[in-house]
């Protein structure tokens, strides 16, 4: 048995059959280019007879993409095969993929044909396709629910007719892994000419077993897997490529020398591209490519990961194109992760300071889902260090409107004296900051600004958080008021006080109030 498992991507064909996921021609090309970078072996570019748009997209992909085999799908009909051939023929490695149902239920209700007729049509269509291309794949649709004797007879006959790949679809996602693995083994044992073709599998996810079924098939001799990025596809979807490939790569103890040629580092990028273009959001807990796939929140897990990353990570995030694992700070996080994050942010604290900050952090985390770096800065600055109010805002007046340049007048108390200043700005907040600068003589740069409603209703308290930079230092200022402009001016003065305090602690003066 060869060791390579061929990866056949059908995102642009079965994936696009996902209700609501249709892609424009240019978008299909973009996905195809990315699939080529991902180094999949075969791209099923579409079903050319389905629509003129599909035909054009397959034709363009066949012309532009070099490297992977480009396949076009066709029913077991001459017109379909002719159209599929016209669409893929410009590629150096064209494949025609012919399918015809073999299960009793499909033959009786859908095709209304007897076994003999289906067998004849399968052979005729493969023979016809073989005259056009050397690479012909045949799929007995609904193979997992087909009578095994009949299925084996069809497979033997299409291989004799020239099929080089026989694909075994679990079209309705009905099989269990042990059954599907057994089906592949049976085909290998019972079909005398099976060594002349690659056994492929194509599993749907109706019972959530598509990946497990595909892997059971590989373990029993399948050497091509049909799958899609993010598992998108008809109904509940197809088997997800990233999960299958990473399972084969990760479980060397099970799959031994088996390998795929996929550049796994491209997975996250490909997943995001497909998600953006189809509008199908990847759930955060999706294996391999979900936002949380490499995030750890619980204290015990974070502690383990920090001590030895393999305690809770079976794959390296960078191997699938994730930047790095994330320690998400939340209510389940422990002191270890908290301290490491503070250090990474450049906040070196004493043990007592960490103890106090950690207590405060736990209280905040109880109210808030995730604690961001901003919150940590504020936590440490606000709670551990008492900031002397060198400057105190006592009054703010702003004239503003759509037709006038905003002008702010502020009264700021400094060293027991109230100083008044007036300034123009590009907006009312800018005018306030500039007026404050005139008093403090410190010219801060507003890097980030956020307004949160603290209470509900029309008279809601607004809390402004702003990041202010001056002379290479950055601090977070906060201010609250029912008037957002007043809250902004307070936040700016708060930031200025922090900047001056930081400088004083480090022995360098920033401003001379």
Q: How many helices and strands, by DSSP H and E, does the chain display?
A: 17, 16
- Rounded least distance, CB 296 to ligand KIV, Å: 37
Site for ligand KIV in 185-214 (CB under 6 A): 202, 204
Q: Measured from the CB atom, is 59 or 102 closer to ligand KIV?
A: 102
CA distance linking residue 266 with residue 283, whole number of Å? 19
Q: Measured from the CB atom, is 71 or 468 closer to ligand KIV?
A: 71
Binders of ligand KIV: how many residues, by CB under 6 A?
9
CA distance readout (Å), 168 to 103, 130, 157, 274: 12, 19, 15, 26
Of the residues 169, 181, 317, 477, which one makes contact with ligand KIV according to CB under 6 A: 169
Helices 267-278/241-250 angle, 10° precision: 170
Of the residues 27, 141, 156, 266, which one makes contact with ligand KIV according to CB under 6 A: 141
Q: Where do we find the tokens 């736990």?
A: 362
Query: How is residue 15 written in tokens?
Result: 């994936």
Site for ligand KIV in 30-69 (CB under 6 A): none
- Rounded least distance, CB 142 to Zn ion, Å: 10
Number of C-beta neighbours around residue 186 at 10 A:
14
- Rounded least distance, CB 117 to ligand KIV, Å: 19
Point out which residues bind Zn ion (CB under 5 A).
14
- Rounded least distance, CB 81 to ligand KIV, Å: 14
In this structure, what DSSP letter does residue 251 have?
-
Across 232-262, b (16+ Cβ under 10 Å) vs e yields bbbeebbbbbbbbbbbbbeeeeebeebebeb
Question: Nearest Cα to 417, choosing from 384, 383, 394?
Answer: 394
Q: Measured from the CB atom, is 154 or 327 closer to Zn ion?
A: 154
Q: Measured from the CB atom, is 172 or 218 closer to ligand KIV?
A: 172
Of the residues 99, 174, 358, 361, which one makes contact with ligand KIV according to CB under 6 A: 99
Q: Kindly write out the interface string for residues 6-25 of this chain, putting x where it contacts ligand KIV by CB under 6 A and - elsewhere.
A: --------x-----------
Report CA Rg, the chain. 32
Q: Where do we find the tokens 């308290």?
A: 461
**Residue 171 contacts ligand KIV per CB under 6 A:** yes
By the 10 Å C-beta count (0-12 exposed, 13-18 middle, 19+ buried), 207 is classed as middle
Q: Kindly write out the interface string for residues 255-274 of this chain, putting x where it contacts ligand KIV by CB under 6 A and - elsewhere.
A: --------------------
**44 contacts 278 by C-beta, under 8 angstroms:** no
- Rounded least distance, CB 377 to Zn ion, Å: 51
- Rounded least distance, CB 258 to ligand KIV, Å: 23
Q: Measured from the CB atom, is 169 or 444 closer to Zn ion?
A: 169
Which range binds ligand KIV by CB under 6 A, 56-64, 88-96, 166-174, 324-332? 166-174
> Which residues sit at the interface with ligand KIV, rule CB under 6 A?
14, 99, 139, 141, 167, 169, 171, 202, 204
């Amino acid at each position: 048995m060869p060791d390579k498992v061929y990866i056949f991507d059908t995102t642009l064909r079965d994936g696009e059959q996902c209700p609501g996921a249709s892609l424009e021609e240019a978008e299909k090309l973009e996905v195809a280019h990315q699939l080529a970078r991902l180094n999949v072996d075969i791209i099923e570019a579409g079903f050319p007879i389905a629509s003129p748009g599909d035909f054009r997209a397959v034709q363009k992909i066949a012309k532009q993409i070099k490297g992977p085999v480009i396949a076009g799908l066709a029913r077991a009909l001459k017109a379909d095969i002719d159209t599929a051939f016209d669409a893929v023929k410009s590629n150096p490695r064209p494949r025609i993929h012919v399918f015809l149902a073999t299960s009793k239920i499909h033959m009786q209700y859908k095709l209304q044909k007897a076994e003999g007729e289906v067998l004849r049509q399968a052979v005729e269509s493969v023979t016809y396709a073989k005259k056009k291309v050397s690479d012909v794949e045949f799929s007995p649709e609904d193979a997992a629910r087909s009578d095994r004797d009949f299925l084996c007879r069809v497979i033997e006959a299409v291989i004799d007719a020239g099929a080089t790949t026989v694909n075994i679809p679990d079209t309705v996602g009905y099989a269990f892994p042990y059954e599907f693995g057994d089906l592949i083994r049976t085909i290998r044992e019972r079909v005398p000419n099976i060594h002349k073709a690659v056994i492929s599998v194509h599993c749907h996810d109706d019972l959530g077993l598509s990946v497990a079924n595909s892997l059971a098939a590989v373990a029993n001799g399948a050497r091509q897997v049909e799958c899609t990025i993010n598992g998108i596809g008809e109904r509940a979807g197809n088997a997800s490529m990233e999960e299958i490939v990473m399972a084969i790569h990760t479980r060397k103890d099970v799959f031994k020398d088996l390998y795929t040629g996929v550049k796994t580092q491209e997975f996250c990028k490909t997943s995001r591209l497909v998600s953006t273009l189809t509008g199908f959001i990847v759930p955060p807990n999706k294996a391999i490519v979900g936002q949380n796939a490499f995030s750890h929140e619980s204290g015990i897990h974070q502690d383990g990961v920090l001590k030895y990353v393999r305690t809770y990570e079976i794959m390296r995030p960078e191997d699938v194109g994730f930047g790095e694992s994330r320690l998400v700070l939340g209510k389940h996080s422990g002191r270890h992760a908290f301290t490491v994050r503070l250090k990474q942010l450049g906040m070196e604290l004493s043990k007592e300071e960490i103890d106090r900050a950690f207590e405060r952090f736990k209280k905040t985390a109880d109210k808030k889902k995730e604690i961001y770096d901003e919150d940590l800065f504020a936590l440490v600055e606000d709670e551990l260090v008492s900031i002397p109010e060198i400057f105190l805002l006592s009054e703010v007046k702003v004239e503003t409107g759509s037709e006038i340049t905003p002008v702010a007048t502020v009264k700021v108390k400094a060293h027991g004296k109230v100083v008044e200043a007036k300034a123009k700005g590009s907006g009312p907040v800018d005018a306030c900051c500039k007026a404050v600068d005139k008093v403090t003589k410190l010219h801060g740069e507003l890097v980030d600004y956020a307004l949160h409603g603290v209470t509900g209703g029309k008279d809601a308290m607004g809390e402004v958080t702003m990041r202010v930079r001056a002379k290479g230092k950055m601090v977070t200022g906060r201010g609250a008021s029912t008037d957002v402009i007043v809250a902004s001016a307070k936040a700016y003065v708060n930031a200025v006080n922090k900047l001056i305090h930081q400088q004083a602690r480090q022995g360098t003066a920033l401003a001379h109030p």
